[in-house]
């Protein structure tokens, strides 16, 4: 249904971003927190309109912007994620000497980019969304202006990111040349009908894959991840590990869902993705073993998780993919929240050694962090277990048994480094003076909401599963 209402969620977010940007000039440094609260208000508004247009199939601009349930589900998810990130930033940015109100505006802009990506089926529009997202992300990575690492992260991200964007555009051009359109259904039709795709189209798909592979950090396009994750302000890292990844996977889901049985050429792409998935799972986890910086460990772990999610794409099981992304949001933001909690004015504790003994010293942060790590490692009864369970069982049903065996062995490797953090937290005596600022109600709110999410999704995910079922029902059947 062509209706202006399709634009409301996006309009609210963009308006919010611009308003926050404007107000930033007039608000004094110590009152910057209000901008955060204002942004959350806009997020709530956006969420309201998303919920309101559920199952209504609003579209606008000739269906270029199309709010099917999947798009709405992800829009809601992104709103939750950004709200968590904002809550985490409130204290962090003032205590880490990065007190710029721009972070809220940039987060909202990134959100609008992600929403465009998930609610369009035209690759060109998706590219526009991706650029809005990426440029906001470059700026976010460099938010700690006086910190060298942060600057390095921003520059690295920007250079490699624009390189990847160039690949993506080139791929789009090839695809357009081959299919005369950038609409995803048309492209899939092209692959399914006719004598089979030509080299041009295949090259196009491959280049598009490179572009997105970069954004969601698949091996071998992951090189930027650890440095950027380490250098960026921690709440921003949390955002990077969740937001762009989920948006990128949604696009991949839309592109590849009906792709496989298209033609024999599609088989080639399938095996390429198979290999990428194996590489991503194994390399991500193996390299994480050697890290001593918790942020870097989480960076590599997020690479590995992208590998597991890719398994869902290969298995063509859309609901397990969406469930994985949902679960991943809660456990990963939760884990980063705990890392953020371990800081005080002007100082962050990020080395493994710093974590020694904190489990008993700060029981709540320690216990929740442990739960998030166990969830990331895939122990029941947490969300992480159920997410992996769904993905892998779908993959076995799709006859991908070798891939699943590699996947579970990779996750065994991951158990080691997740447990190593817990070993430090609970089983070693602290050797360093760690003294943190525990007065941070917003952070504890996020910790407990994420804990709730992880347990609810792990034990009684019924409602969310029903919602996901509705969300993916708008997709064409595989």
Where along the sequence are the contacts to other proteins (CB under 8 A)?
360, 374, 379-381, 385-386, 389, 392-393, 395-397, 401, 404-405, 408-409, 411-412, 415-416, 419-420, 423, 426-428, 461-462, 465
For residues 295 and 350, the answer to whether their CB atoms sit within 8 Å is yes
Residue 405 beta carbon to other proteins: minimum distance, rounded to whole angstroms: 6
Closer residue to other proteins in complex, CB, 166/466: 466
Closer residue to other proteins in complex, CB, 54/389: 389
- The residues that bridge with 65 in the sheet, in sequence order, are 60, 120
Tokens of 161: 């990111």
Closer residue to other proteins in complex, CB, 360/452: 360
> What HEC string does 235-292 produce?
HHHHHHHHHHHHHHHHHHHHHHCCCCCCCHHHHHHHHHHHHHHHHHHHHHHHHHCCCC
Residue 412 beta carbon to other proteins: minimum distance, rounded to whole angstroms: 6
Residue 303 beta carbon to other proteins: minimum distance, rounded to whole angstroms: 20
- The residues that bridge with 183 in the sheet, in sequence order, are 122
Local structure of residue 476 (DSSP, 8 states): P
DSSP string across 158-218 = HHHHHHHHHHHHHHHHHHHHHHS--BHHHHHHHHHSTT---HHHHHHHHHHHHHHHHHTT-
Closer residue to other proteins in complex, CB, 304/386: 386
Local structure of residue 83 (DSSP, 8 states): H
Closer residue to other proteins in complex, CB, 11/419: 419
Residue 192 beta carbon to other proteins: minimum distance, rounded to whole angstroms: 26
Residue 49 beta carbon to other proteins: minimum distance, rounded to whole angstroms: 30
Place of tokens 């611009």: 18
Residue 422 beta carbon to other proteins: minimum distance, rounded to whole angstroms: 8
- Chain centroid, CA 299 distance in Å: 12
Closer residue to other proteins in complex, CB, 1/409: 409
The CA radius of gyration of the chain, in Å to the nearest whole number, is 21
Closer residue to other proteins in complex, CB, 235/378: 378
For residues 128 and 114, the answer to whether their CB atoms sit within 8 Å is no
Residue 469 beta carbon to other proteins: minimum distance, rounded to whole angstroms: 10
């Amino acid at each position: 249904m062509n209706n202006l209402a399709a634009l409301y969620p996006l309009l609210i977010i963009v308006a919010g971003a611009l308003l926050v940007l404007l107000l930033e000039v007039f608000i004094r440094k110590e009152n910057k927190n209000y901008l955060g609260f204002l942004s959350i208000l806009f997020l709530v508004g956006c969420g309201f309109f998303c919920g309101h247009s559920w199952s209504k199939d609003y579209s606008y601009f000739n269906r270029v912007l199309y709010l099917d349930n999947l798009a709405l589900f992800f829009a809601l998810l992104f709103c939750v994620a950004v709200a968590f990130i904002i809550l985490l930033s409130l204290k962090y940015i003032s205590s880490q000497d990065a007190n710029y109100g721009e972070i809220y505006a940039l987060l909202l802009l990134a959100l609008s980019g992600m929403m465009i990506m998930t609610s369009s089926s035209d690759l060109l529009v998706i590219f526009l969304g991706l650029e809005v997202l990426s440029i906001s992300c470059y700026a976010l990575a460099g938010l700690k202006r006086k910190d060298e690492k942060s600057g390095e992260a921003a520059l690295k991200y920007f250079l490699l990111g624009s390189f990847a964007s160039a690949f993506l555009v080139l791929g789009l051009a090839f695809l357009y040349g081959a299919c005369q359109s950038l609409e995803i259904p048309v492209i899939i039709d092209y692959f399914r009908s006719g004598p089979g795709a030509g080299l041009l189209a295949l090259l196009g798909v491959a280049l598009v894959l490179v572009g997105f592979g970069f954004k969601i950090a698949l091996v071998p396009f992951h090189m930027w991840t650890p440095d950027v994750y380490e250098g960026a302000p921690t709440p921003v890292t949390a955002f990077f590990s969740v937001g762009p990844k989920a948006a990128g996977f949604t696009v991949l889901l839309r592109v590849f869902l009906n792709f496989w049985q298209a033609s024999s050429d599609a088989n080639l792409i399938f095996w390429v993705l198979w290999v990428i998935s194996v590489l991503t799972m194994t390399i991500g986890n193996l390299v994480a073993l050697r890290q001593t910086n918790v942020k870097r460990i989480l960076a590599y772990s997020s690479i590995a998780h992208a590998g597991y999610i890719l398994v869902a794409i290969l298995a063509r099981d859309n609901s397990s993919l969406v469930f994985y992304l949902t679960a991943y949001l809660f456990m990963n933001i939760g884990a980063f929240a705990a890392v953020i909690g371990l800081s005080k004015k002007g100082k962050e504790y990020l080395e493994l050694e710093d974590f020694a003994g904190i489990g008993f010293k700060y029981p709540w942060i320690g216990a929740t962090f442990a739960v998030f790590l166990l969830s990331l490692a895939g122990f029941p009864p947490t969300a992480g277990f159920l997410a992996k369970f769904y993905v892998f069982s779908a993959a076995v049903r799709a006859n991908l048994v070798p891939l699943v065996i590699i996947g579970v062995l990779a996750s065994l490797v991951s158990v080691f480094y997740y447990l190593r953090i817990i070993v430090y937290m609970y089983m070693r005596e602290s050797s360093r003076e760690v003294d943190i600022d525990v007065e941070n109600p917003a952070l504890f709110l996020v910790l407990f909401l994420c804990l709730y999410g992880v347990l609810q999704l792990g034990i009684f995910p019924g409602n969310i599963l029903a919602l996901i079922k509705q969300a993916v029902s708008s997709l064409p059947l595989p």
